[in-house]
Amino acid sequence: MQQYSNKLRSEGKSIGFVPTMGYLHEGHISLLRASKNECVVSVVSIFVNPTQFSPNEDLAKYPRDFERDFSLLEKEDCDILFYPEPSEIYPPNYQTYVVVDGITNVLEGQYRPTHFRGVTTIVNLLFNIVLPHKAYFGQKDAQQCAVILKMVNDLRMNLEVRICPIIRESDGLAMSSRNIYLSDAERIDALVLSRAIITANELIISGERNVAEILNAMVAIINRAKSSSLDYIEIVDFFTFEKVEKLFKGKKYLILIACKIGKTRLIDNDIITINS
């Protein structure tokens, strides 16, 4: 892969890269389409990265369907599918990890303490193999986007990061490979995440600026679903991920939710800009 990317680079061809863990859906495909729009050659990787799962998480049962993914990518005219084996990426003598401080200690980092270390390590590794000019990530994983932007800036990595919007099912549920775990009843319950976000937006549009009030209304909606159990629900500064108490004109924020529906942990978020 690295040799091929070097060859493409020497021919002056731009390389766009979409890292994924497979079990592809429209969210992943939207990233591929963005890459195809901007780059000459688009590479999608499928790698269920063991280092970003903690021992009590779903690595072994994470959904996989290579044939289905392959035909989806073929249909979308993806140029290259990079599909390495875990033993090729992490041979027995593998010893190097990339860690971003600060922003990885809150929210997802608090609930999944080793997660971002695995993410930054694999993304760095894949960047070194695929040598992309541009790499595409989904806003669905808002904190992951911020962590990767931080890594790329701090380490002066020679590529551009593009963040693409969240793709949702028609009823509002953010697309995720993990949605397949949901039973029919849980699939209905899962709508409380996007509904809570809609309610927050409605309150903000109607002039509410007190974060506690907005969060109370959101929690009430989440609690309506019998199978829900909240990890966190927060409004933070878009850039620093610090919690805020009031919303101010001209500022940008993120509403972030992590919530278990039955045994399935789902995340969702929205960007808020206060214009008046």
Residues recognised as catalytic: 28
Residue with Cβ nearer ligand AMP (166 or 204): 166
Contact 253, 192 (CB under 8 A): no
* Only segment of 87-95, 174-182, 187-195, 243-251 that touches ligand AMP (CB under 6 A): 174-182
For ligand AMP, give the closer residue by CB, 106 or 166.
Answer: 166
Query: Per-residue DSSP letters for 172-228?
Result: SPBP-GGGGG--HHHHHHTHHHHHHHHHHHHHHHTT--BHHHHHHHHHHHHHTSTTE
The residue whose Cβ lies closest to ligand AMP is 138
Residue 265 makes contact with ligand AMP by CB under 6 A = no
Phi, psi (rounded to 5 degrees) for 267: -125, 155
Using rule CB under 6 A, residue 140 touches ligand AMP: yes
Whole-number minimum distance, CB 183 to ligand AMP, in Å? Answer: 20
Q: Where are the alpha helices (DSSP H) in the chain?
A: 2-10, 26-38, 66-75, 86-89, 108-111, 115-130, 142-154, 184-189, 191-205, 211-223
- Torsion angle (degrees, nearest 10) of CA 137, 138, 140, 142: 50
Q: Is 189 in the site for ligand AMP (CB under 6 A)?
A: no
| Side-chain-facing half-sphere of 204: CA atoms under 13 Å | 28
Q: For the window 141-170, what string marks contact with ligand AMP as x by the rule CB under 6 A?
A: x----------------------x-xx---
Of residues 7 through 66, those in contact with ligand AMP by CB under 6 A are 20-21, 27-28, 30-31
The count of chain residues that interact with ligand AMP, using the rule CB under 6 A, is 17
Query: In the complex, which residues of this chain contact ligand AMP (CB under 6 A)?
Result: 20-21, 27-28, 30-31, 137-138, 140-141, 164, 166-167, 174-177
